[in-house]
Amino acid sequence: MAVRREQVTQDMLPPMPSVVRYLLDELGERLTAVIAGVRDAEVLRGWVDGDGALDAATAERLRAAFEVTQLLRQRSSSELVRLWFRGMNTELDDEAPALQIAKDPVGVRDAARFFLAHG
Protein backbone atom coordinates (compact mmCIF):
# COMPACT_ATOMS: atom_id res chain seq x y z
CA MET A 1 0.00 0.00 0.00
CA ALA A 2 2.84 2.42 0.78
CA VAL A 3 4.23 2.03 -2.72
CA ARG A 4 0.92 3.08 -4.23
CA ARG A 5 0.74 6.14 -1.96
CA GLU A 6 4.24 7.21 -3.09
CA GLN A 7 3.22 6.80 -6.75
CA VAL A 8 0.15 8.97 -6.24
CA THR A 9 2.28 11.60 -4.51
CA GLN A 10 4.78 11.62 -7.39
CA ASP A 11 1.98 11.86 -9.95
CA MET A 12 0.56 14.90 -8.15
CA LEU A 13 3.81 16.87 -8.29
CA PRO A 14 4.27 19.49 -11.00
CA PRO A 15 6.56 18.87 -13.98
CA MET A 16 10.28 19.07 -13.28
CA PRO A 17 10.81 22.51 -14.90
CA SER A 18 8.22 23.93 -12.47
CA VAL A 19 9.86 22.14 -9.53
CA VAL A 20 13.27 23.61 -10.39
CA ARG A 21 11.82 27.11 -10.95
CA TYR A 22 10.07 26.96 -7.55
CA LEU A 23 13.28 25.89 -5.81
CA LEU A 24 15.28 28.61 -7.54
CA ASP A 25 12.71 31.20 -6.45
CA GLU A 26 12.49 29.95 -2.86
CA LEU A 27 16.02 28.72 -2.15
CA GLY A 28 18.19 30.55 -4.67
CA GLU A 29 20.66 29.26 -7.23
CA ARG A 30 23.48 28.22 -4.91
CA LEU A 31 21.37 26.15 -2.52
CA THR A 32 19.34 24.57 -5.33
CA ALA A 33 22.60 23.63 -7.08
CA VAL A 34 23.89 21.98 -3.89
CA ILE A 35 20.68 19.99 -3.54
CA ALA A 36 20.78 18.99 -7.22
CA GLY A 37 24.45 18.06 -7.02
CA VAL A 38 25.55 20.41 -9.81
CA ARG A 39 28.20 23.13 -9.78
CA ASP A 40 26.83 25.40 -12.49
CA ALA A 41 23.58 27.31 -12.04
CA GLU A 42 23.34 27.41 -15.83
CA VAL A 43 22.41 23.73 -15.69
CA LEU A 44 19.49 24.62 -13.42
CA ARG A 45 18.27 27.32 -15.78
CA GLY A 46 18.49 24.78 -18.61
CA TRP A 47 16.26 22.41 -16.68
CA VAL A 48 13.73 25.22 -16.19
CA ASP A 49 13.72 25.73 -19.96
CA GLY A 50 13.32 21.99 -20.53
CA ASP A 51 16.88 21.57 -21.82
CA GLY A 52 18.89 18.59 -20.69
CA ALA A 53 17.82 15.46 -18.93
CA LEU A 54 17.95 14.83 -15.22
CA ASP A 55 18.97 11.44 -13.91
CA ALA A 56 16.54 9.71 -11.57
CA ALA A 57 18.57 10.42 -8.41
CA THR A 58 18.75 14.16 -9.16
CA ALA A 59 15.03 14.30 -9.92
CA GLU A 60 14.29 12.51 -6.64
CA ARG A 61 16.40 15.00 -4.66
CA LEU A 62 14.72 17.97 -6.33
CA ARG A 63 11.23 16.58 -5.80
CA ALA A 64 12.00 15.85 -2.15
CA ALA A 65 13.37 19.39 -1.72
CA PHE A 66 10.24 20.76 -3.40
CA GLU A 67 7.97 18.87 -1.00
CA VAL A 68 10.01 19.87 2.07
CA THR A 69 10.16 23.51 0.96
CA GLN A 70 6.41 23.64 0.46
CA LEU A 71 5.88 22.01 3.84
CA LEU A 72 8.13 24.49 5.63
CA ARG A 73 6.73 27.50 3.75
CA GLN A 74 3.31 26.81 5.28
CA ARG A 75 4.64 28.36 8.50
CA SER A 76 8.03 29.90 7.70
CA SER A 77 9.50 32.62 5.51
CA SER A 78 11.69 31.82 2.51
CA GLU A 79 14.67 33.12 4.46
CA LEU A 80 14.03 30.75 7.36
CA VAL A 81 13.55 27.82 4.96
CA ARG A 82 16.91 28.61 3.33
CA LEU A 83 18.56 28.74 6.75
CA TRP A 84 16.93 25.44 7.72
CA PHE A 85 18.31 23.70 4.61
CA ARG A 86 21.83 25.06 5.28
CA GLY A 87 22.04 24.57 9.03
CA MET A 88 23.25 21.59 11.01
CA ASN A 89 20.24 19.55 12.04
CA THR A 90 20.27 17.37 15.14
CA GLU A 91 17.55 15.16 13.63
CA LEU A 92 19.98 14.41 10.78
CA ASP A 93 23.10 13.67 12.88
CA ASP A 94 24.18 17.32 12.65
CA GLU A 95 24.19 17.27 8.84
CA ALA A 96 22.68 20.04 6.75
CA PRO A 97 19.39 18.97 5.13
CA ALA A 98 20.64 20.26 1.75
CA LEU A 99 23.46 17.71 1.88
CA GLN A 100 21.54 14.92 3.59
CA ILE A 101 18.63 14.95 1.12
CA ALA A 102 20.67 12.93 -1.39
CA LYS A 103 21.26 10.16 1.15
CA ASP A 104 18.01 10.22 3.10
CA PRO A 105 15.12 12.20 1.59
CA VAL A 106 12.61 10.57 3.95
CA GLY A 107 14.75 11.54 6.94
CA VAL A 108 14.87 15.13 5.71
CA ARG A 109 11.08 15.18 5.36
CA ASP A 110 10.77 13.80 8.89
CA ALA A 111 13.22 16.42 10.19
CA ALA A 112 11.13 19.16 8.54
CA ARG A 113 7.98 17.81 10.19
CA PHE A 114 9.80 17.69 13.54
CA PHE A 115 10.94 21.29 13.05
CA LEU A 116 7.38 22.42 12.37
CA ALA A 117 6.07 20.56 15.39
CA HIS A 118 8.79 21.58 17.84
CA GLY A 119 10.44 24.67 16.39
Is the pLDDT assigned to residue 56 strictly greater than 50? yes
| Closest alpha carbon to 102 in 30, 12, 34 | 34
pLDDT score, position 38: 95
Provide the number of structural domains found in the chain.
Answer: 1
pLDDT score, position 1: 40
Q: What is the mean pLDDT of the chain?
A: 91
Q: What is the DSSP letter of 74?
A: T
| Host domain of residue 109 | 2-118
pLDDT score, position 4: 41
pTM here is: 0.87
Q: Which long-range contacts (CB under 8 A, 24 or more apart) does 82-87 make?
A: 82/26, 82/27, 82/28, 82/31, 84/112, 84/115, 85/27, 85/31, 85/35, 86/31
